[in-house]
Structure 1
Amino acid sequence: MTNKLEIENYIKTHSIKQKLLSSFKNLLFHYMQIKLKKYTLQMIKLYSILTIFILVASCSQKTQQPCDDSFIRGNNYVLASDFENAKKEFEKSIKADSKNANAFYGLGYTYSVEGIYEKAIENYTKAIELDSKFKLAVIGRGSIYYIVGDYENSEKDFIEVTELMPNFSMGYLYLGNIKSQKADFESALKYYDQALIYDKKNSTTYFSKAICQSYLNRPLDAIHLLKKSIEINPKYGMAYFYKATFEHQLNMGDEACKDFKMAEKLGITTQTNISEFCK
């Protein structure tokens, strides 16, 4: 009888643990998608600011696209975060030349920063219609499609980006994120590997790859990748948090406790985890 009760209790306990682990993984998945989107938006802003400098520089190089005074002033307003006046100047530039792809790109970027995504897509699309190889516009539109959850169109744009710019690691990172959003983790891993070929120092790529490995029930591989992510960026609090989480799953208590504490030190709220696991 005792053995039977022990077996029944074990089955119940194991079942509860499995349900809790499953629930945790679901929460982890949704939380990671939010984090990836936030990171993506940050990268869009950083990349787009660099793009503004590139466009201004290209004006002095006399590219095929016109760069009138209104366009230059629009860029200056963008850099000063004066988006209303930036839009007015880009619109003036378009009024002077309706085929000015640069000005449509400037409008697309300005609307994207303001969070007016429908108008951003509309203007990026116009820039692409005027110049089918306008790489920066394709990147901008694909990024916005990703943010609004239109993964099919985002994927199309970033496939085109990787064809136009085969060495552009961010294109593969986006494609990996899209596959991750669709829970196609094996395909995501392939894209992350391609991204790492061209940029071996991107801590976020290692982090994203680690999360995919965890969903494929490869926690040791995930931990190894998170170590690499932390090696590149020692202040990556979320990497410490998930490394600790996977270590806890593997009963690596001391390591998990240490990493939870480090994540807390770096601004990630883990006090509940520390209280529970650091005993």
Structure 2
Amino acid sequence: MNKIMKDNYRTIGRSFYSNRNIEKAFEFYEKAYNSEEGKKDIELILDLALLYDEIYDFDKAKEKFEEVIKLDNTDSRGYYGLGMIYDNNKNFDKAIENYEKAIKLNANYNRAYFYLAGVYDDIKNADKAIECYNKVLSLDPNDFWSYVNLSSIYDEKGNLDISLMYIEKALNIDPEHYMALFNKAVLKKKLGNTCEAINLYKASIEDNPYYGFSYLNLSVIFKEKNQYEDAIKIISEGIKNNEEEGYLYYNRACFYAYLKNYQDSINDLKIAINLYPDFKEYMKNDIELKEVLDYFL
């Protein structure tokens, strides 16, 4: 197969991929690859690696990234790709090793720093995570998720004012993003500004009604005010939009129990346990459910 045919197959593959026809994309990428020239084309092999990664065939993706490195051991993308594979498999030592190799070859590799920060966050090395996220921001001051993730790290460290500063920076980039609004609501609640937290949770829900924790946290605020009917109304709306989230049923069961509506509480607990069987053990020590536990014991 000559170079023109190989490039044509690759172009057709890309066209199918852009239209989300993954099966046909593979067909033409592999036609391009199954040639002497194809097996030497790093860009083509990277495309294949990313396709395999997208369909969660991590073994094949790893194989292709290793091919890239074998062809050119100075190509930072091969190491970055391996870092992603090891990261997905929770092999954090190997992920760090490969992300750092990518960075050594390309000191401005934005995404390598970003995902390396995520690994350090996963292994609870907050200082290294902060260092890497700040490097990302030095390369791209508008990286929304770096601000969000830095805010979360400082929240965990108990530095609420710094956490709030970073989430405000994220919201300056995307003022209506549900996750930034949610995180700011959490912070405002911790800082004692419950009214603002309520409004932020409502704004988060408006942007994304399929994120169940916004409903949960908002409903808990009303539960803490002993406004159980309002709490039930909010969490019921959450269930309507997130029918498979067991924790929403579980918490609504607790609200019903407070109102002595034991049958509805039992019904919700049945659903919660069906979705997440570990709730059956957890509820045994939940004082909020003491009136309905006999049904399950």
Structure 2: which amino acid aligns with 1:79?
A: E
Matching residue within 105, 125, 146 for 2:100: 125
Structure 2: which amino acid aligns with 1:272?
A: A
Describe the superposition over 1:28-62 as per-residue Cα deviations: whole angstroms up to 9, x where unpaired: xxxxxxxxxxxxxxxxxxxxxxxxxxxxxxxxxxx
Cα offset, 1:235, TM superposition: 2.8
Q: Which residue of 2 aligns with 1:175?
A: 150
Q: Residues of 1 paired with 2:205 and 2:46: CA distance?
A: 42
Work out whether 1:271 is the aligned partner of 2:271. no
Aligned length: 214
Q: Residues of 1 paired with 2:216 and 2:231: CA distance?
A: 9
Identify if the C-alpha distance between structure 1 residues 133 and 161 changes in structure 2 by more than 3 Å, giving closer, same or farther.
Answer: same
Identify if the C-alpha distance between structure 1 residues 114 and 234 changes in structure 2 by more than 3 Å, giving closer, same or farther.
Answer: same
Q: Residues of 2 paired with 1:196 and 1:79: CA distance?
A: 29
Describe the superposition over 1:181-232 as per-residue Cα deviations: whole angstroms up to 9, x where unpaired: 1121111111101000111221011111111122222222211110111111
What is the DSSP-based 3-state SS (H/G/I as helix, E as strand, rest coil) of the residue aligned with 1:273?
helix
Q: Which residue of 1 aligns with 2:231?
A: 256
Q: Which residue of 2 aligns with 1:139?
A: 114
5+ long unaligned stretches in structure 2: 1-40, 261-297
Is the CA contact (8 Å cut-off) linking 1:189 and 1:209 kept in structure 2? Answer: yes
CA RMSD of aligned residues (A): 1.9
Structure with the larger RCO, 1 or 2 (CA within 8 Å, 6+ apart)? 1
Cα offset, 1:71, TM superposition: 3.1
Q: Residues of 2 paired with 1:207 and 1:97: CA distance?
A: 44
Matching residue within 139, 164, 167 for 2:139: 164
Identify if the C-alpha distance between structure 1 residues 234 and 102 changes in structure 2 by more than 3 Å, giving closer, same or farther.
Answer: same
Q: Residues of 2 paired with 1:273 and 1:194: CA distance?
A: 37
What is the DSSP-based 3-state SS (H/G/I as helix, E as strand, rest coil) of the residue aligned with 1:234?
coil
Is the CA contact (8 Å cut-off) linking 1:108 and 1:122 kept in structure 2? Answer: yes
Structure 1: which amino acid aligns with 2:253?
A: T
Describe the superposition over 1:80-110 as per-residue Cα deviations: whole angstroms up to 9, x where unpaired: 3221122122122212221110111111111
Is the CA contact (8 Å cut-off) linking 1:247 and 1:256 kept in structure 2? Answer: yes
Structure 2: which amino acid aligns with 1:256?
A: A
Identify if the C-alpha distance between structure 1 residues 236 and 79 changes in structure 2 by more than 3 Å, giving closer, same or farther.
Answer: closer
Cα offset, 1:158, TM superposition: 0.6
Q: Residues of 1 paired with 2:209 and 2:45: CA distance?
A: 44
Q: Aligned ranges for residues 1-279 of structure 1 at < 5 Å?
A: 67-265=42-240, 266=242, 267=245, 268-269=248-249, 270-278=251-259
Between Structure 1 and Structure 2, whose CA radius of gyration is higher?
2
Q: Residues of 2 paired with 1:234 and 1:74: CA distance?
A: 34
Describe the superposition over 1:97-151 as per-residue Cα deviations: whole angstroms up to 9, x where unpaired: 2111011111111111122121111101110011010101111111111122211
